[in-house]
Structure 1
């Protein structure tokens, strides 16, 4: 049978349906402590069989545990050698609860409020989530920002090293972190500049988490906490060496996101730098060519662009489900920066799937 007469496969539909099952398989494994139990045996290299794993997690017997563990193997989260199960490198690094870069909590909270998803069709139709969803998200924020901490800490340290390499990281910097969340950015930056100062801005129910993070590393005195809306809250400084916008722009409607970037550019002034970290959607198509330079005229080519951005698009949809945001594109950042008298000078990926953009003023002092 040639390609012209080959039957159309339902695989893409099943993949999406099974995505729901896959998520809950991972969630159940975390709730049961499957990865932590296997981590305790990792040094021996022997792994656990289904009966041993059942005993370790307090399950009644090996049958149901076998089904779950085999599914996790199929999802590349465990490996199986004969009848024994082992952690994959990714599971060991990101799913063991005590691992420095653990995403175990993020698995639970990254999708946002559970009630946002059944109402997604209405959100798309009306352009905004139900008020109850927004209220649930605000309540969820403290747990969500804590969950992002391990991942963001690594990104912050990498960015500090990059800023130092470029000569944009003074010995006693002033940093403004707009939407400081877990405090991972302010602590990651301060650890390389213990004589610096950070202005940390976030909602009243989130700010104590960042304050505690600074306390935990003995640098609470270097942090000035400011509670309120980062667009119009009064700051104790008029300028900063570094302004951080980490995963906040995509959650805002377009007008607020542009205003927030403009405020960051103003704070950075002629010599500072705005650090934007976000999951950017593909740039829009203009006259058949994407603003990212990709050919948008042919369906196949444009499909490949969207396929490559699957992760970023799904996270943008997560924003749509529970916030007023639609995500953000690189074209947005370029346009908004230009309107504020600045430009996007570089992009890099210090940690897989964590995209960093550096924005600086167009004045001679900043571009010389």
Structure 2
């Protein structure tokens, strides 16, 4: 009989999921209370605020509840505690203060999609589609959601422009097509590096004004041609482009529409252009090997936890299931192109570059 002690089975993974719900609402409450902004504004000395001072700063009745919330945020690595005082962590200072250039404060509220989508997730899985009330709620929420993505996407777009420049794929006067331009973060960031360029910005009528306003605020409105409509069927005032952007749109579409959208992007890029795909890709399907050394599906899923949770967010409120790199490769190949490179310019933001297989593109 073996004397080895078996590893005990604990409920920790279950508690982690249950506590994930609590963690989200702790962060949401802190944002609603202005807790991070209060620490950023009132902590001139760098020593932080105690619970009484923090309660006064956010208008809370007393230090007790504030202390419980703040200590929870310390446990979540969103605040730091030194003796009886609380202060911002570097991540909170950069991403949770509302005035920070890279702030995700609004994204915290809107990224999960319509709140009603989650109690109905089981029915969505059973039927294959969310309830019409959920999709209607997403349509109403979408303008706020795309605004919230702006700070993050601006950083990604700026990094992509630098990469295109390094590769020699970024002409001085590029023609850019942004399919699903959303907040306008991509078009403004790209035009800042190429102010003589032109962007054809495509999105739905209730979203397009957001991108137009972003371009106006940046002093770049004259370089933007706004086209309202479905990015699959709308007519565009250009036959070819140097760069075609598909930023976080494929995963929200059913597979066939996503395939068609990538095909249209490849066609627009022509022989010498590049399609820039930014998305949270799910793990590729497991591939069995003849030697028995198959892909470790479990490890792949664990590594892609962030991407899978965002794919589930798509499932909860859209017709999309996310996309895989295998999907992108297959769809690109069918359109006469290939996925030539992948990189991660900002943590958890994956960029894929797709180009035509014609001699001009591969030379």
Structure 1-normalised TM-score? 0.96
Q: Which residue of 2 aligns with 1:283?
A: 284
Q: Which residue of 2 aligns with 1:358?
A: 353
Distance 1:285 1:3 in 2: 33
Q: Which residue of 1 aligns with 2:153?
A: 152
Q: Secondary structure at the match of 1:169?
A: coil
The one-character-per-residue Cα deviations of 1:159-195 (angstroms, maximum 9, x if unpaired) are 0011011100000000000000000000000000000
Q: Which residue of 1 aligns with 2:48?
A: 47
Is the CA contact 1:42–1:87 (under 8 Å) kept in the aligned structure 2?
Answer: no
CA displacement at 1:274 relative to structure 2: 0.1
User: What is the 5 A alignment of 1:71-82?
Assistant: 71-82=72-83
User: What is the 5 A alignment of 1:208-227?
Assistant: 208-227=209-228
Distance 1:256 1:6 in 2: 47
CA displacement at 1:5 relative to structure 2: 3.4
CA displacement at 1:288 relative to structure 2: 5.1
Is the CA contact 2:180–2:203 (under 8 Å) kept in the aligned structure 1?
Answer: yes
Q: Which residue of 2 aligns with 1:35?
A: 36
Q: Secondary structure at the match of 1:237?
A: coil
CA displacement at 1:302 relative to structure 2: 2.1
Q: Which residue of 1 aligns with 2:330?
A: 335
Q: Which residue of 1 aligns with 2:248?
A: 247
Alignment gaps of 5+ in structure 1: none
Residues paired across the two proteins, number: 360
Is the CA contact 1:46–1:84 (under 8 Å) kept in the aligned structure 2?
Answer: yes
Q: Which residue of 1 aligns with 2:84?
A: 83
User: What is the 5 A alignment of 1:1-368?
Assistant: 4-287=5-288, 295-296=294-295, 301-368=296-363
Is the CA contact 2:43–2:49 (under 8 Å) kept in the aligned structure 1?
Answer: no
Point out 4+ residue stretches in structure 1 off by more than 6 angstroms.
none
The one-character-per-residue Cα deviations of 1:48-79 (angstroms, maximum 9, x if unpaired) are 00000000000000000000000000000001
Q: Secondary structure at the match of 1:312?
A: helix
Q: Secondary structure at the match of 1:218?
A: coil
CA displacement at 1:6 relative to structure 2: 4.0
Relative distance call for 1:6 and 1:164 in structure 2 (3 A) is closer
Distance 1:5 1:278 in 2: 41
Alignment root-mean-square deviation, CA:
1.3
Alignment gaps of 5+ in structure 2: none
